[in-house]
Amino acid sequence: MKTAKPSPDTAALHAHESAQAVANPAAHDHDHAHGHSHAAGGASVESALAMAEAYCRERGEKLTPIRRKVLELLLASGRATKAYSLLDEMRQIHPGSAPPTVYRALDFLLSAGLIHRIESINAFAVCHDLTQCQHGILVVCQQCGNVTELHEPKLRQALVAQIEAAGYRLSGDGIELKGVCAQCQASEQASAEGAKAAAHS
């Protein structure tokens, strides 16, 4: 996924991102198998889109072309993506795309339970099982934006109970842990070894 710099037209989008970050995330019920990474291949993108369309029809809602395209971009990315990057990609396909158009699509996908908001990096990622996820614990790579969802209901319940016992109430359903994924760790190690070898040569 390219990391495009925001253009002046994205100022409104960033303002909306800041406002959305303090809003309650949409409530939705999903169910996950244990520890899924948010990645998708070409064939699975099409099947995921078909599943999402069928799910929306069952809910009496419509996955409009814009909503479908935003979901497709997130599926193709396979990792958490910021809204302005989605906007840049949308403008390559539909030059007239405006920030509110992308945010309306994201808001719909959130409310339908098809994507997650990753609060720690202010980005969005596809819910691994799309229509059957129960909020798990998200592990977010702070370097590349890869997201893995851990489905550990007992651990999550125990964590929420401890948080409440400490006198806090969660402002949303998401629980995020920051980290560095295996791929980024390997890259770091390779870079360190390369630098060490260069220093000794």
Question: Residues forming the annotated binding site?
Answer: 135, 141, 144, 181, 184
Strand partners, 150: 137
* Residue 89 to residues 3, 40, 51, 142, Cα–Cα distance (Å): 11, 18, 23, 22
Output the known binding site for Fe cation. Answer: 135
| Separation of alpha carbons 4 and 147, rounded Å | 20
What value does the CA radius of gyration of the chain take, rounded to a whole number of Å? 18
The contacts of residue 197 (CB under 8 Å, 6+ apart) are none
CB 184 within 8 A of CB 143: yes
Output the known binding site for Zn(2+). Answer: 141, 144, 181, 184
Q: Which two tokens stand for residue 122?
A: 């202010």
Backbone angles phi, psi at 47, to 5 degrees: -70, -35
